[in-house]
Amino acid sequence: MKAMMALLLALIAAPGQAAQDYPADPLGSPMWRAHALTLFGHDPVRFDARVKVEFPAIAEDQRAFPVAIDARGIPGVRRMLLFADLNPIPVAIDYRPTHAAPYVATRIKLDQRTPVRGAVQLEDGQWLVSGGWIDAAGGGCSTPPISRVKGDWADHLGEIRGRAWPQRDGARLRLGFRHPMDTGLVANIATYHLDHLTVKDGDGQLLGDMDLWASVAEDPALTLMPDAPSGGRLLVEARDTNGRNYVARIDLARQSPIPARP
């Protein structure tokens, strides 16, 4: 019994002893250390404003809060994490832009006022982190998706909208899936969400892939920047937690990008 207790204590203490001293959190989040331990482990971590985590000043809809992580100013990014410290499902996206610019934008659920962060990992293993607080009403993760309330989610499951635009380097890809992205936190509705997505070029070469969690908003929307030439083709394959597969093909226009209205 005593030995078991000692072992237990050792186990509990182990992560704390093994973990490095993470830098002090500029956002003062109560969950910073816990998340850093889980997500970054022994890798070096520092806060770096070159990781641009962009979002609106107001969370107008706590069920779909737009966030973009733009790390195009940093060379050698191999992995990008989007997470909200105080969400019951903190991590939304874990993206590997293998042959893609380090940019990802989506919409996430917010369950309360929380830090929203982007973390990017470089080739040498170190993590660069940035983000900010956003105020939000509760319930983003714990109210039923609109399509569940309307009852039409199954009629549209699998619909994918998208388009790709050539831009100076590579392409800009926008995708919108119809999916309830059930969190499992709503009574009698089990967890059910898209959990993996890949983008390939016309030759089948992997350009990027990501894991997704149910803290991504219902009807997930994504903006990515894969390396694909104008006139090329992109193949998107995704899978959800029930094993359903999703496939989309998007042809890149040959014309130059349409400039956004100033």
Partner 1 sequence: MLSRRSVLTGFAFLPVVARAAESYAIEPEQIAQGIWMVRGADAPIQPDNGGAIANIAIVDTPAGTVLIDCGPSLRYGLALKRVAEELTGKPVIRIYVTHLHPDHGFGLGAFDATRAAALPGTIAAMEAQGQGFSDAMYRILGDWMRGTDLLLPRIALTAGQEDFGGRTFRLLALSGHSSADLALLDEQTGLLMAGDLVFYNRAPSTPTADLPAWRASLDRLAALDHGALLPGHGPLDPGGTAAIVQTRDWLDWLDATLTDAVAAGLDMVEAGMLPIPDRFAGLAAARYELQRSVSHLYPGLEARLLPRVDRPD
Bridge partners of 251? 233
Identify which of 222, 228, 248 has the alpha carbon closest to the alpha carbon of residue 237.
Answer: 248
- Please, what is the minimum distance in Å from the beta carbon of residue 52 to partner 1? 10
Indicate the residue among 74 and 248 with the shorter CB distance to partner 1: 248
Indicate the residue among 168 and 261 with the shorter CB distance to partner 1: 261
DSSP state of 234: E
- Please, what is the minimum distance in Å from the beta carbon of residue 33 to partner 1? 28
| Count of beta carbons in the 10 Å neighbourhood of residue 75 | 9
Indicate the residue among 127 and 246 with the shorter CB distance to partner 1: 246
- Please, what is the minimum distance in Å from the beta carbon of residue 139 to partner 1? 9
Q: How deeply is 203 buried, as exposed, middle or buried, from its count of CB atoms within 10 A (0-12, 13-18, 19+)?
A: exposed
Indicate the residue among 44 and 158 with the shorter CB distance to partner 1: 158
How far apart are the C-alpha atoms of 86 and 55, rounded to whole Å?
17
**Placement of tokens 């737009």 in the chain:** 66
Indicate the residue among 48 and 61 with the shorter CB distance to partner 1: 61
Residues 6+ apart with CB under 8 A from 169: 101, 225, 227
- Please, what is the minimum distance in Å from the beta carbon of residue 91 to partner 1? 19
Phi then psi dihedrals of residue 236, to 5 deg: -115, 125
Contacting positions for partner 1 (CB under 8 A): 54-58, 60-61, 64, 66-68, 105, 107, 137, 158-165, 172, 174-176, 219, 221, 223, 236-237, 245-250, 257-262
- Please, what is the minimum distance in Å from the beta carbon of residue 57 to partner 1? 6
- Please, what is the minimum distance in Å from the beta carbon of residue 97 to partner 1? 16
Indicate the residue among 59 and 77 with the shorter CB distance to partner 1: 59
- Please, what is the minimum distance in Å from the beta carbon of residue 158 to partner 1? 6
Indicate the residue among 146 and 206 with the shorter CB distance to partner 1: 146
Buried b (16+ CB within 10 A) or exposed e, 149-183: eeeebeeebbebebebebeeebbbbebebbbbbbb
How far apart are the C-alpha atoms of 112 and 132, rounded to whole Å?
14
